[in-house]
Amino acid sequence: MEQAYVEQRNGGYWGRGTRVSLDSIVYRFLEGLSPEGIADCFPGLTLEQVYGSIAFYLGHRTEIDAYLQAADAEYEAFRQRVRTEYPRLSRKLDEMLQSSQSSAHEAPVSGR
């Protein structure tokens, strides 16, 4: 009996019966995480569901890659629209991000 691990709903792909998007699983897979590592990232998924989702992706790679590219383009358009409509907020967020990145790269002072 064949088990379906992925379902389409609300315009996206999801782990069947979960709130975990296929996007989340695929991006971690493409980053090089093992199925076990992916399962650790999403406690709501079993290892079987992770393998099933990866198999679904590999079997529908062209379709899913196109879907992911479209979602990325849609997000980027949204991001640019927000930057245009809310320039002060965008500048403030950029400053906060830059500040947090700078402080994260500073080496702690030792021996004092």
Q: Is residue 107 part of a domain?
A: no
Q: Is residue 112 part of a domain?
A: no
Tell me the residue range of the domain where 80 lies.
Answer: 6-102
Give the whole-angstrom CA distance, residue 13 versus residue 20: 9
Contact assessment for residue 57 and residue 26, using Cβ atoms and an 8 Å cutoff: yes
Position 58 in a domain? yes
CATH number at residue 14: 1.10.10.10
Spatial separation of the C-alpha atoms in residues 98 and 108, rounded to whole Å? 18
Domain count, the chain: 1
Q: pLDDT tens across 18-48, in order?
A: 999 999 999 999 999 999 999 999 999 999 9
pLDDT tens over the chain, length 112 residues: 567 999 999 999 999 999 999 999 999 999 999 999 999 999 999 999 999 999 999 999 999 999 999 999 999 999 999 999 999 998 998 899 898 888 776 655 555 4
Token digits of residue 49: 């569901």
Residue 111 within any structural domain of the chain: no
Distance (Å, whole) CA 21 – CA 12: 8
Backbone φ and ψ of 85, nearest 5°: -75, -25
* Secondary structure class of 108 (helix, strand, coil): coil
